[in-house]
Amino acid sequence: MARFKTSARLLGLAFVALQGALAAKAPDITHQSPENAPPIPYLNLMALFTMPQNVSQDSSEESGLLPNLFDKRQREEDENGGLLCKNGPCPDGSCCGPAGICGYGKDFYGVGCSSNCDAVAMCGNFSDGGNTKCGMNLCCSWGGWCGTSEVHCIGPNKFTPCQEEFGSCEIIRPKTCGEGSGTTKGQTVGYYLASNSRDRLCNRIFPKDIKAADYTHLFFSFASIDPKTFKIRPWDDADIPLINEFTALDTNTWIAVGGYTFSDLGDTHTTWSDMCSTPQNRAAFIQSSAEFMAKYGFTGIDLDWEYPMEPKRGGSKGDTENFAKLVKEMRVAYGTKYGISLTLAPDYWYLRYFDAEAMQPYVDFFGFMAYDLHGSWDSDVQTLGYLVRGQADVREIYNGEP
């Protein structure tokens, strides 16, 4: 019976892997397109079906039958909560110091450092240039990490206090939400991904199929930006008839610009950053966006930049300030004729580079991408360990299975 259960479980895993392999369309993991995440690594199905019959009850499938399938490090800590690196590089990317403990600064990158010895902290004295503050005024811990907990805002002991000059050093408790205290103001926003009408094998949705009455705002996703002229343009010529059908819907129809794949490696990789970098480039975008909305009948625009100042996403220094300038200049140019919204990243790694406070006076609302808080793209985050979280799909289960 034990052998049967083991075989059945492996067969189930193999079937899931085969499904994932057949369903995968591209090797990229994207926040906007989780369906393009890679499948579970392909299993040697025949090896599973022809297992030797002398597998003992005490044998474990993880011990060799599935080599490297669930190969992910668990984080190791000492008795004080310090992250250890005695068996490999620091999973958080910091320096592995002489004592086998992870961290930043001279006590870690000096003589005896074994890996990541040129790493810099997120904030504080050990950050790049020694002057990086925590975005959104979060606390900068003694070790150079931004956060909101006691460890960040006060310190684990009197010898490792919060770095006051690089952010707040006060724990701000969340407010209790009472009845009717929501922040949506009765708005229901939906994104319509135009490419679905061309790329899906089934269940294609056209604007005429949308129940517009269920939404206060509908965003046509996405428009592109010319990387040379910085003028807004349709993502694809095939979108134009869809746009005309979309703006005829009886609700607020806005154009969403950018999206995750817009900042993938390619012609538009740095376009957001380049466009925001000078007054002339911003003016070209603003004028063309107003003309675009007037031409097609849109009543507002949604800015989906993923993400400012993140080099891997085409960002650069200065993006935070320049993005705020863009939004302010857009409001001056539009007046009250067109609405403005923008998306905010849910994870602090990206969110720290959005100056929401500076942009708030000029936008109608922010869109918080809560669906991106966690997903299969976190498979390379070593410090998470083996965890399966809520709303897990098969790729999440693979990431979390020990």
Could you tell me how far CA 166 lies from the centroid of its own chain? 24
Least confident of 67-71, 125-129, 218-222, 266-270: 67-71
Least confident of 209-218, 307-316, 386-395: 386-395
Share of the chain above pLDDT 90, in %: 60
pLDDT for the residue 152: 92
pLDDT band at 260 (very low <50, low <70, confident <90, very high): very high
pLDDT for the residue 174: 75
pLDDT at 54 over 70: no
pLDDT at 287 over 50: yes
Share of the chain above pLDDT 70, in %: 72
pLDDT for the residue 185: 76
User: How many CB atoms neighbour CB 282 within 10 A?
Assistant: 22
What is d(CA 280, CA 231) in angstroms, rounded to the nearest whole number? 12
394: left (phi over 0), alpha (psi -120 to 50) or beta: alpha
* Residue-averaged pLDDT of the chain: 81
Give yes or no for a cis peptide into 166 (omega within 30° of 0).
no
- Stretch 57-82: mean pLDDT: 52
What is d(CA 163, CA 165) in angstroms, rounded to the nearest whole number? 6
Higher-confidence residue: 71 or 315? 315
Domain boundaries, the chain: 193-369
Describe the crossing of helices 279-296 and 319-334 by its angle, rounded to 10 degrees: 50
| Predicted TM-score of the model (pTM) | 0.76
Which range, 3-7, 10-14, 40-44, 166-170, is most confident? 166-170
pLDDT at 280 over 70: yes
User: How many CB atoms neighbour CB 380 within 10 A?
Assistant: 9
What is d(CA 353, CA 344) in angstroms, rounded to the nearest whole number? 10
Contact indicator for 136, 356 with CB cutoff of 8 Å: yes
pLDDT at 402 over 60: no
The pLDDT tens digits for 357-376 are 999 999 999 999 887 666 66
Q: Which option is the CATH number for 193-369: 3.40.50.2300, 3.40.50.620, 3.40.50.720, 3.20.20.80?
A: 3.20.20.80
pLDDT band at 44 (very low <50, low <70, confident <90, very high): very low
pLDDT for the residue 79: 80
Contact indicator for 286, 330 with CB cutoff of 8 Å: yes
pLDDT band at 388 (very low <50, low <70, confident <90, very high): low
pLDDT at 53 over 80: no
Structure tokens at 283: 């003016």
pLDDT for the residue 6: 42
Backbone angles phi, psi at 138, to 5 degrees: -75, 170
pLDDT at 12 over 90: no
What is d(CA 53, CA 247) in angstroms, rounded to the nearest whole number? 65
pLDDT at 71 over 80: no
pLDDT at 63 over 80: no
The pLDDT tens digits for 140-173 are 999 999 999 998 999 878 888 999 999 999 998 8
H or E element at residue 90: none
The pLDDT tens digits for 315-337 are 999 999 999 999 999 999 999 99
The pLDDT tens digits for 175-222 are 777 776 666 778 899 999 999 999 888 889 999 999 999 999 999 999
pLDDT for the residue 347: 85
pLDDT for the residue 271: 98
pLDDT for the residue 82: 82
100: left (phi over 0), alpha (psi -120 to 50) or beta: left
As a whole number of Å, the end-to-end CA separation of the chain is 23
| One-letter identity of residue 384 | L
